[in-house]
Structure formats: C-alpha cells, structure tokens
Structure 1
C-alpha cells in the first residue's frame, strides 16, 4: 500500500519565513507605482481622431488632468481610452470618445467633460440644476402618428448607482454587489405591481439569449473593459407582460427598456417613467441612490447619456426621404438622428440626438413632433412634391 510522504521541512525556511512575511506589505497594490513619462511625452496622437474627445482635447488640457486620479483610481488616460480604441469616422455621427470610470470623474475632470457634454448635446452647462419631468400625461400628440409609417417604438433610460465604479472600471466584486442590489430592488418591484423574472446571463443558452434579444458583447465593449469577465454578474429582468426589460451590468449599471410593436410612444414612456421612479425609491432605501450631479442631472458612464439618460426611438417605414439631399440638414434642425434598422433595410430608426438640456417629457415630445414632420415629408415625396416649405427653422 502506497503511503503519502510527509512534507519535507527545511530548517532555514522555517527560521526565516516569519521574517520574510513580516516584510511583505499588507496590500501590494499600495506599493505600486505606474511608470509614466511627462504629459508631453504621453500625449496621444489625435490627428486622425474624429470623436469629440479627439477634437477638443489639447496638450494644455491634458497636462492639467494628467496627474489627477479619483479615489477609486481612475486616471485621465482611462477616461479617454474609448476614443483612442475607437477613433471614429468623419463620415458618421460624432461619438463622445470618452467614458467616466466613476461618478467623481465628472467633478475631477470637469474641465474636459463639460466641454464634451456641451459639444455633443449642443447645450451650455449652467449653474441651474436640471429639472426632470416624469408626468407622462404632459406628452401630447402620440395618437396622431400614422401607423402606415410608424411601425414600432421603444423608450429606454440609463441609470448609474452611487458608490460603485461604472462598468469600464468596476471590479468583479462591485459588479456582483450591483447584481445583488438589483435583485433586491426588482423583487420589490415584483411584489408591489409588476411581476417578472430575473434571468442570469450565465444560465441562458444561445437560443434563450436570442429570444430575449441579448447580443454578445461588441468588440468595442471588450476593448474598453465593459465586457470583462462576461457573462459574470450580468442579468436581464423581464416583466411577465413583456412591457419592461431591465438590463443589469450590461453596458451600464441599469438600463430600463420598454418596447412596443406599435408606435404608442405614450404607453412606452409611461411604463419607463413609472418604473424608474419606483426603482429610484427602492435603491434609495437600500442606501445606494442613483448617481446625480448638480448642473448635469443623472450621470452614468457615457457623457452622451447625462441629464436624463432617456432615449426615444421610433421605427419608420420610409422609401423616399432617406435618399433626399436635405435629410441630414432636417435631422440636425429637429435634433434627431436616423439610422437604418439592421434587421430590415426598409425600416429607419429615428431617435433624440441629445439627452441633456431638456426634460424627459420635452425630449419625448421633440421625437414625436419630429416623426410627424418626417412622415409628412415622406408623403409629399411620394406625390412628387417638394419638401422645402416643411423644413423647420433651427431649433
């Protein structure tokens, strides 16, 4: 019968081990020193960068931010990394090209973030606190959308949770704790009014993920660190009636989405307004309120979502207008964006270009009014008439 040999003991090791262990720092990371050269030597090449970060960042601004670091360890190089990984294309809409590692970034690096926010949202930051408006009854004219053109819609809102780093910078432990908080808050939502079920992404097979419209993380999310450890601590909560989906730890801490197979923007907006306010209350009771900054409003990882975090999308069936020479000018004046739906080339998704500067109701109204005008232009083009007199003045 074989016997396990006893561990060989080395007298010298036994003698010196306590001394060696006493020399080790309690936290090795506290002794870590990042080797960097001067700001001028570290300044990135932005000559081919078409993002707002690349257009606005100067060497002088980089020097001012270079030695700053948030309490959670976010450096300015971490903030601008998304724009360096995805420099953009001059022929496409300008992306922000940066991401906040935590909510404190918007304060520490305000010299940079404020300029990006103002450029992207086309609205000046003032000392006034942005006022929200979740009174969905104030939204008008949604019943007038022509169902022959407006075929479906969705409304979404993004929220970050205080005291946690945003997805580009958070640790596994933070992400798992965020999932625990979401589970508790969504359970309260189920008990009070809206039954549903939380699905952990790691427990779903590919077919189940397709049924829930869950795509694998994009190469961009992988490069900037948002998709680290995928699918660990990622989940999606779906209401029983299908009116609401809550994505947890995907692109942001929380993303609420209400999708409809018709163009009833009012009902989708009502669903979002009602449930985001309830979740806000539940998270506050859990002592982790949503991230809010004076002068900016709600903040999450992307400066493109500050203010309201609200996106209203309407899918339109259009044939003539997408190829019209004045379309981009019209969209800019309406403060809207349009792109072709990937699943159907005949459908075009129209959404608000900005989330900052207007209230939730005002942004939704802007999309509804803009969609009506685009449909009116499409009808004119179908009849062979000119749309010049319908082009709005600059908003």
Structure 2
C-alpha cells in the first residue's frame, strides 16, 4: 500500500515530459492548425514556451509533493502514525527538488519537452546519491517501517547476473544522445527529421481535415525502437528472450495505442463537425461556448480541473491533452484569456490527474497485490492532488503578474 501510494503521488511532477515529452508535444500538435489565428507561426517555439510554462508550475509543486508523500507514508504506515516524522528529511527533499528544478527549467526553455525529464532525472539521481553518501542534509536517525529487520549479513551472495553501471545506463544514454543530436540546431540534423512524413489530407472529404506524422521526428517512437534493437545485440539476448520482450511490450502498448488512435479521431470529429448541411457550429465550438458561459471569468481556475478529469477518464496526460487542448484553446479564444496559459494549465492538470486516475490506481493495486484497496488509495491521493492544483494555479497567477506568462 505504501509503495502504491508513493508511486501514484510521485507520478505527477515529470508527467508532462514523460515518453520524451509526448504529452506536452501532443498538446501543441493537436492545436497547431489554429495557432496562426493568434499570430503563432513557429510551432517549435510555441512548444518551447509551453514546456517552459508547464515545468515551472510542476517544479514548484515538486518542492512540496516530495516531502508531502513521505509524510503521508509516515502518517499511515509509521510506528508513531505521525506526519511530523517527515520533518527530519525535509531539507534533503528540498535539495532533491531544487536540483531537479535547476536542470529541468532551463532545459525546457532552451530544448523543449523531449529532454526535460530525462536530463533532469539523470542529473538528480547522481546528485542525490552523492549527497546521501556524503551525509549531506541526511537525518541523524533512519526511519524504518515497523517490523523491518536490519539485514546483518551484508555479504550474502548475489545470485543475480551483474553488469557494469555504464552498460546498464547505455540505453538511456543512447536515447538522450539521439534526442540532443536531432533537436539542437547546431548539429544540422534537425531539418532532416521532418523527411518522409506520412500525410493524409481532406480526411473523408472534409476540407482542412489533414494529418501529418513526422515519424522520424517523433520522440516517443523512433529513438526507442532503434535503441531497443541495439540492445538486443548489445546484451546478447536469445531468440526466446527477444520474443518475450516484444510480447510484453505489445501487451503494454496495444491499449494505449488504440486509445490514442480513437482519441485523435474524436478530436477531428469535434473540430470538423461544422461540415454539416444545417450550418451548426462544430461540437468543439459549441462545448467551448458552453464552458465560457458557465465559468466566465473563473474559467482560469477550471482549466487544470478539465485536464485532471481527462486523465481521470482516459488514464493518460497525453490522451487528456489530445481530447481537451482544442477545447481549452477555443474557450480561451472566446474569453480572451492568454491561450498558452490555458493550454499550460491543461497540461499541468492532466499531469497531476495521474494521482487520481482510476486506470493508474487499478493498475498499481494489481501490481502490488492489494486489489480491493482502490477506494482507500483514491481517498488518500485526492488531498495531494488538491495541494498541487493550488500550487499550479498560484504559480501561473504569479507568472502572469510578472509578465512571464500571457
């Protein structure tokens, strides 16, 4: 239960930049056709700005969520059942968050979403391991779960196969290297990544309904497949092991792939349903007008909730962004609210919605063998979700007042 709760609540800060930035890039890609209406002609620059605004709120939230999660674990599973048991480790938690934030914010601003979590997490891992070994900001007493026995036999023989640290990290390093080389303009490869696109125009005869997939430039597709096949040779996997890897990957991806395909299809229905003989607005415009009339000037505070509802329903920040980013953009247009601010709040809302997502809760309960505890977990994660919601709203208000957002 403790592991399930911790993983769910920590599955928030880096989510907009997971799978090499797929959620954030999907939010930008799905609205790229309407960006010229607000004077945006450079999609790459818009993605960088969206990444920057999204990561600031998430990083400020990380300053709180990391020790809040540990406090919840102490309160529910500790010997003293006290939230205050977390206080000795708060300084180290803040150090961890600051290191992560100091890397992720400039990377998001300069390079975009693809490398934000990858680079920040890699740097933070080594920084925190080094700090912990040096005893920097570490609590004097070690907190343990009740009944946990300290292993005295440290020389117990390890029956697992071992490999060098470099070899274990090589796949991550290769993915990161690929993304850096193909995203940084100075290497001269970035223009080539748009070659050989898969394009569909005027889908089902509807003018303007077009789709383009630049598969070479897709950060969640090409580098990972390439590195996987390199890994097969590098680690000397047998035929049966390769089949097992491919089968497990297929089982994990098939559901998400189907959801994404139909998610894109649903968005196109929403957007282009104005192609009707009655002259009705599209479903997207109709919903946007309804939201604008319902929330009015308070829509700013509703935007991240919609993102969280999308994650709650679909189990993915990416699908939430695909489904609701066009709605958020259209509503912002009607209410004259800065578009990028609302899309960033959608992105952040979808990220923190992972904490209360039913799909994630069911999956983590099945993984940890605590099926039937879903209700208890949801009741516990709602509180941290609300705290994170207040943080992203507060940060965005501050950024707008400072002239950084909007």
TM-score by length of 1: 0.25
Larger-gyration structure (1/2): 1
Query: Normalization by structure 2: what TM-score?
Result: 0.24
Instruction: Considering fraction of residues, name the structure with more helix.
Output: 2
Higher strand share: 1
